Chain A
Amino acid sequence: DMKVTQMPRYLIKRMGENVLLECGQDMSHETMYWYRQDPGLGLQLIYISYDVDSNSEGDIPKGYRVSRKKREHFSLILDSAKTNQTSVYFCASTSGNSGNTLYFGEGSRLIVV
């Protein structure tokens, strides 16, 4: 079953706390993404991972880092969360075999207070 799973789905953190968002996919896709979605700004790309330990910054990487130690898992880490990082975060995966269609998770809503 083709699926991208994100955990947790909802999270409230205080400013300065660490945040870990996790993403898993069962399609053996090489490429995975983290986006954030904010009203009026659409989806903005934070990081891309082309495979294990092969990560590249997207358009808005500042304040985030990522980890990809297994092909099926891609983590987004906020080391000291800020209130302007309140958003909905989406993970996606793709491969050449899927025609480069991105498959998205259901999103993780993060509130930083």
Chain B
Amino acid sequence: QQKVQQSPESLTVSEGAMASLNCTFSDGTSNNFRWYRQHSAKGLEVLVSIFSDGEKEEGRFTAHLNRANLHVSLHIREPQPSDSAVYLCAVRRNAGAKLTFGGGTRLTVRP
């Protein structure tokens, strides 16, 4: 069964400094990766989807995927206090498979 783990559990950065979040997965045949953001007491919003090795940018959010290393990361450029939230990594083996979520990283951006 797919295992998805995120690190760190919590991260505090200053406004404007790059924030980097990590996600490792266990099934190397996975080909469908998404990063979601969850503000307190709210639902999840998708930030960026990536399906092949390399990087994918969506505004200030960039995902890097290295399937050989079973690793996908999210980098947030110029984070703002409004980016303070829980960030969830989600991995799917293929289009029809279940989505498995990591436990999340709580990001705090200090003004």
Contact = CB atoms under 8 A, between A and B. Distances in A.
Interface of A: 4, 35, 40-43, 45, 48, 58-59, 90, 92, 96, 99-107, 109
Nearest to A44: B101
Contacts of B59: none
Contacts of A40: 103
Contacts of A109: 41
A100 B42 contact: no
7 contacts: A42-B102, A45-B99, A58-B98, A59-B98, A100-B32, A103-B46, A106-B41
A4 B102 contact: no
Contacts of B102: 42
B49 interface: yes
B92 A100 contact: yes
B111 interface: no
B49 A101 contact: yes
Nearest to B97: A100
Contacts of B104: 42
A45 B42 contact: no
A96 to B, nearest CB: 7
Contacts of B41: 106-107, 109
Nearest to B95: A100
A81 B78 CA distance: 45
A101 B102 CA distance: 16
A101 B99 CA distance: 10
B46 A101 contact: yes
A99 B103 CA distance: 23
A22 to B, nearest CB: 15
A107 B32 contact: no
Contacts of A58: 98
Given A4-B43, A104-B43, A45 B98 contact: yes
A90 B43 contact: yes
